[in-house]
Structure formats: C-alpha cells, structure tokens
C-alpha cells in the first residue's frame, strides 16, 4: 500500500446543534503511511467548520494540507525515532505551522503511530493496560427542551457522575428550567457543567451566572465570546461560579502569547482540544503553563473520528487526571471507524488494543 490522503466525511446520526449552527456532516482527512514491518501508520486531520482557523472550505484545506505533507514527508522518519517534543529540528519546523493546529495534531498523531509500529496502542499506560478507566462527562447536545431532557435522563441512567450541558441556543428560562429539573432529579451528588460557547453578552451574563450558582453548577465554559479580554478578566474575578476557557485559547501560538493570556485572565479552568489548540505539543505547553499558575485543566475531544479520539484519550492517560475529562465516544456518527473505546458507568475504557491488519 502506498501513502494515501483520503477525505472521510463523517455523517452525524442526529444533526449536531452548536452555537455556530447545525452540523449534518464533518470532514476529516485520513492519512495512511506504510511501514517497513508491513503495518500501516494512520492519522487524522480533523477540523470543525466555522471554528478551525485554518479551514475555509474543503478545496482550500486539502490543497494546504497536501503542501504541508510534502514539506514534512522527508523528515517524518527522523522525527519518529525519538521524542519529537524535544527535537529542536521538529520544533523549528513547526513554528511556521502553529496557525494550523489540525495539521500539527495530524502530524503528531502520525509520529505516535509510527513509533508504535502501526499498533493501535500508542502509549503504555495503566489505561491501555486495562488497569484503569478515565471518568468523563456525559454531554447533552443542544436541541429542543424535550430532546435535551431525554439526553440528560439517559446520561443519569448510564451512570454518569458529571453531566455537561450546552446552553445558549434556547430561551434562557427554558434552559434554566431544565437545569433545575436535573439538579432536583440527581441531587447534590451530580456535578453539572455548562458550555455557553460564547452565547451570552457582558450585559446579560451576570444574571445567568447568579442563577447557575444557585444550582451549584460546577463551572461555565466560555460564557461570553472570545476576544473580549478585559471583560472576560472582570467576569472571572467577579463570577460566583468558576469559569473555564476554550475558544479563548484558539489562535494563541507562542509560549509568550499563552502565558500572557493566562496571566491576564487567570481562569479557574482551561479546556484543551489538541486539534484546535496546537496539536499535542501545543496542549503540553498549555498544561505546563496552567500548572505553573495553579490553573486546573481537562482535555476534550472535538468531533474527531475514532482514530483521533483514541489518540487523544491515550495521550490524556499519560497524565495523572484528577477531573472528569470531556472525551466523546464517537457514537454520534453513522460511518465512524471501529473504536477501541467503550463507556462504562460514566468512565471511558480501553477495550482491545489489537494491531490493525
């Protein structure tokens, strides 16, 4: 088999409603790299239309991606022979591509796969040895009030101890009523997170935060749109509940930019997505900077296929994770690849680890 770059359009089983619109499909580019042992190293270049900064349309992205692969192809065998995170040649090369986080995500996943000799098991951890599971939050997607209620009830029935609800699409009073129902049904033992995706304004967000505090909500993700740093800073200082940042981190590429952002805003949490926040190397930088400032964090998948999701979960398992993570399961797609992961009572588990044929 020769090298192949293939567009794989993932199809949602149910339309995925976000604050940026409704998604019916999502493109990912799969890259296959033959190895000397006869196995195939595999990776994914995953984007979210309207959010990934390097993506305008499929034609433009495919053209830029092909150019990127051609530029780095000759160095891939060299980088994969050691820890590329500390490889000065790799670090110099990727400086010019930090504005293309999905490119770095895909390249680094490929290097992990080559180092694993094409095995699905990219890291040797307690998780991949099936000695440990990782707690995750159950995600309730935006939808009608009745649909979101059903989703929330399903998460409780499946044993999730942490539930994350996307808010900001419906009338706030409707969403608030759903949160009240959930708190009443599950009691104080349930951890409730909400994700606003920047849906509120600096003027109306204070009422929302106060009402969330009355329900003992754990945290709110990106309450106002990214880019309003002074307003966000004031909000974080005065908020009655912890604030987590996500979109606010997109587009910050250097250590200096990242450090300045954290020093100015001082969020309670940051939420890290490798395909949006600089690949795995970019996420490592964010984690180091956050921990130096005693800012907590968790990892989240970002609509990747089973290939990218497995890599993100395994990468996360190399850390001592203290909070429920935001990993999806890939079950939202009708044409996903075979998964190595399964959810059991609110935790994600590694189920096989066999090599790809």
Distance CA 176, CA 181 (A): 9
The residue-averaged pLDDT of 261-274 equals 97
Mean per-residue pLDDT, 33-42: 94
In this prediction, residue 263 carries a pLDDT of 97
pLDDT of 1 above 80: no
| Catalytic machinery residues | 166, 273
Residue 26 in contact with residue 49, Cβ under 8 Å? yes
For residues 295 and 267, the answer to whether their CB atoms sit within 8 Å is yes
For residue 357, what pLDDT band results from cuts at 50, 70 and 90?
very low
The tokens of 288 are what?
């180091």
Which helix (H) or strand (E) is 202 found in, with range? none
Long-range CB contacts (within 8 A, 24+) of 201-206: 202/228, 202/231, 202/235, 205/235
Residue 332 near residue 306, CB atoms below 8 Å: no
Q: What is the separation, in whole angstroms, between the first and last Cα of the chain?
A: 12
76-133 pLDDT tens trace: 999 998 899 999 999 999 999 999 999 999 999 999 999 999 999 999 999 999 999 9
Average pLDDT over residues 327-351: 91
Give me the pLDDT at residue 355, please: 42
The verdict on pTM exceeding 0.85 is yes
Tell me the C-alpha distance between 270 and 287, whole Å: 9
Q: What is the pLDDT of residue 335?
A: 96
**Over the stretch 167-190, which tens digit does the pLDDT of each residue have?**
988 889 999 999 999 999 999 999
**Rounded average pLDDT over 278-298:** 97
Q: DSSP letter for 355, please.
A: P
The tens digit of pLDDT for each residue in 210-265 reads: 999 999 999 999 999 999 999 999 999 999 999 999 999 999 999 999 999 999 99
Q: Which domains are present in the chain?
A: 4-115 (3.30.390.10), 134-350 (3.20.20.120)
pLDDT in tens, 140-153: 988 889 999 999 99
pLDDT at 292 > cutoff 90: yes
- Mean pLDDT, the chain, as a whole number? 93
19 pLDDT above the threshold of 80: no
Q: Are 317 and 323 in contact (CB under 8 A)?
A: no
Residue corresponding to tokens 């990747």: 304
Report the C-alpha gap between 206 and 238 in whole angstroms: 9
User: Based on C-alpha coordinates, what's the Rg of the chain?
Assistant: 20
Q: Indicate if the pLDDT at residue 18 is higher than 80.
A: no
pLDDT in tens, 184-210: 999 999 999 999 989 899 899 999 999
What's the pLDDT score for residue 183? 95
pLDDT confidence band for 354 (50 / 70 / 90): very low
Please enumerate in sequence order all residues whose Cβ is within 8 A of that of 295, keeping only pairs 6 or more positions apart, or say none.
262, 266, 267, 268, 269, 270
Question: Strand 4-18 relative to strand 21-34: parallel, antiparallel, unpaired?
Answer: antiparallel
Q: What is the pLDDT of residues 54-67, one digit of tens each?
A: 999 999 999 999 99
């Amino acid at each position: 088999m020769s090298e192949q770059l293939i567009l794989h359009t993932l199809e949602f089983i149910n339309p995925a409603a976000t604050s940026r619109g409704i998604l019916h499909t999502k493109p990912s580019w799969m890259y296959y790299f033959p190895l000397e042992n006869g196995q195939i190293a595999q990776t994914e270049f995953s984007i979210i239309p309207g959010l990934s900064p390097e993506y305008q349309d499929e034609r433009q992205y495919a053209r830029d991606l092909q150019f990127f692969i051609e530029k780095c192809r000759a160095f891939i065998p060299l980088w994969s022979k050691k820890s590329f995170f500390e490889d000065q040649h790799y670090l110099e090369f990727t400086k010019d591509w930090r504005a293309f986080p999905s490119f770095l995500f895909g390249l680094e996943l490929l290097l992990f796969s080559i180092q694993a000799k094409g095995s699905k098991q990219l890291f040797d951890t307690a998780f991949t040895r099936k000695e440990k599971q990782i707690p995750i939050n159950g995600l309730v997607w935006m939808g009608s009030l009745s649909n979101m209620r059903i989703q929330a009830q399903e998460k409780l029935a499946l044993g999730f101890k942490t539930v994350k609800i996307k808010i900001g699409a419906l009338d706030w009073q409707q969403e608030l009523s759903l949160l009240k129902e959930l708190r009443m049904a599950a009691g104080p033992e349930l951890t409730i997170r909400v994700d606003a995706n920047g849906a509120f304004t600096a003027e109306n967000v204070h009422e929302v935060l106060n009402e969330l505090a009355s329900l003992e909500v754990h945290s709110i993700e990106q309450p106002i749109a990214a880019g309003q740093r002074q307003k966000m800073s004031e909000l974080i200082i005065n908020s009655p509940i912890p604030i987590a940042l996500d979109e606010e981190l997109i587009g910050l590429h250097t250590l200096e930019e990242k450090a300045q952002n954290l020093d100015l805003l001082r969020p309670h949490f940051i939420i890290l997505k490798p395909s949006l926040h600089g690949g795995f190397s970019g996420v490592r930088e964010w984690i180091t900077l956050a921990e130096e400032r005693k800012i907590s964090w968790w990892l989240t998948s970002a609509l990747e296929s089973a290939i990218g999701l497995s890599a993100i979960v395994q990468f996360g398992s190399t850390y001592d994770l203290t909070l429920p993570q935001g990993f999806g399961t890939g079950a939202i797609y009708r044409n996903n690849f075979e998964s190595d992961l399964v959810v059991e009572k609110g935790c994600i588990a590694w189920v096989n680890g066999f090599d790809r044929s």
